[in-house]
Amino acid sequence: MYNDKLRDFIKSAFEKKLIEAVMAPAPTKDSYTYALITRKEDVDKLTPIAPVMQWNGADMLRRITRLKKSGRKLLAILRPCETRTFKELVKFNQINPDNITILSYDCPGTVHAREFKNEKISEEELIEKMKKNEISEKVRDSCNVCEYPTPIKGVGDIGFGIIGVEEPVFFSLSDNGKEFLKNMGIEEGERDDTKWIEIHRNNREKWLKEERIKGGTKGIEDFLSSCLNCHNCKDACPICFCKECFFEDHSVFDYESDKYFRWADEKSGIRLPTDKTLFHLGRLIHMGTSCIGCGLCQQACPMDIPLYRLFGIVGNDLQKLFDYKPGVNDDIPPVMDFREEELQDFEGLPEEGD
């Protein structure tokens, strides 16, 4: 029903010539992909609200606009986390937002892509639970502790409200969205999403307290012990957008054999490769301040390492340090900015007795 509503919305937007293209999920045999369509006749192939998030949709928009802004009026249907990713990537000049309208919705969460492959579940099932303010036990860890599971004012253009109303409502998130809905002849509606947010934030608080990886060397080594160093987590991460990654340029970690032998002497033996843990710490240092919390790193891990515990919790510490919330407002990402007066605690020798 909700997907029907959205498909009708899209068809009518085509008819009214408000859009010339749509990007939204579409089913494949065992999953859901993103699809780009340009004709009204193709709208029925779309599943705007899908139970699986195979990729981050903002990453797809990055690909489309990488060389040039969108040449057609494009409507993109994104989950709240993807909409925040979109905003964050615009700040990093990775997406040109011109000509793009974003519609986002009250999100019931998504199922791990592999679990979905093994056991199909419909989006309606997840939505029915959400309407009772219950998070399905089948959704991914990151969805369970999502800080912003609903559309945010100023992030994206149009909201689609499902919670707490019999009939879904549309509402605007930006001026562009307001204009769009007016031209659609849709009256803006209201709904109350506080409870849904509260449930997630309570989960999140508990998770932040309990799931931290502690203990320095031993803690992180144990956590990553089965890591294959495949870098899938990085490839799936929408914030890791660099064309040339520090950790893929292997010359940074090229050493002469003597060095390896000396380390083996000094460290009672070494594990090879030697850059595995450093890769993750380096990624945290480079992008942790902007980790959006989509959890796609964890979904991409072939070894089922609960990576979101690492990126989400350390990312949260980093974001607290700069009072920064990626993708929720217009603040400049911490790695692109500085203040003359700040962070003095990080300068100089520790005080005596500390």
Partner 1 sequence: MNEEKEKEFEPVIVGFFCNWCTSAAADMAGTARLHYPPSIRPIRVMCSSTVDPVYLIRALQEGADATILGGCHPGDCHYINGNYKARRRVAIVKTVLKSLGFDDERILLEWISGSEGPKFARVMNEYTELIKKKGPSDFKYIDSLGGD
Q: What does the per-residue mask of binding to partner 1 show for 208-247, with x meaning CB under 8 A?
A: ----xxxxxxxxxx------------------------x-
Q: Hey, how many other C-beta atoms are within 10 angstroms of the C-beta on 324? A: 18
| Near ligand SF4 in 212-271, by CB under 6 A | 227-233, 236-239
Name the one range near partner 1 by CB under 8 A: 67-75, 99-107, 123-131, 345-353: 345-353
Task: Please name which of 131, 81, 85 lies closest in space to residue 110, comparing C-alpha atoms.
Answer: 81
Please spell the DSSP secondary structure of 153-166, one letter per residue: TTSSSEEEE-TT-S
For position 145 contacting partner 1 by CB under 8 A, the verdict is no
Which of partner 1, ligand SF4, none lies near 306, with the C-beta cut-off 5 to 8 A by kind? none
Candidates 267, 302, 303, 304: give the one binding partner 1 (CB under 8 A): 267
For position 339 contacting partner 1 by CB under 8 A, the verdict is yes
The H or E element spanning position 75 is strand 74-77
For position 306 contacting partner 1 by CB under 8 A, the verdict is no
Specify the DSSP class assigned to residue 335: G
Task: Please name which of 54, 2, 4 lies closest in space to residue 25, comparing C-alpha atoms.
Answer: 54
Nearer to ligand SF4, 89 or 100 (CB): 89
173, amino acid identity: L
Smallest separation, CB 160 to partner 1 (Å): 36
Q: Hey, how many other C-beta atoms are within 10 angstroms of the C-beta on 1? A: 9
For position 256 contacting partner 1 by CB under 8 A, the verdict is no
Q: Are strands 21-27 and 74-77 parallel, antiparallel or unpaired?
A: parallel
Query: What are the φ and ψ backbone dihedral angles of 68, each rounded to 5 degrees?
Result: -160, 150
The structure tokens listed for 2 are 């909700």
For position 332 contacting ligand SF4 by CB under 6 A, the verdict is no
Q: Where are the beta strands (DSSP E) in 86-240?
A: 100-105, 158-161, 169-172
For position 303 contacting partner 1 by CB under 8 A, the verdict is no
Which of partner 1, ligand SF4, none lies near 12, with the C-beta cut-off 5 to 8 A by kind? none
Contact residues: partner 1, CB under 8 A: 212-221, 246, 263, 266-271, 273-278, 281-282, 284-286, 288-289, 313-314, 317-318, 321, 334-335, 337-340, 342-343, 346-350
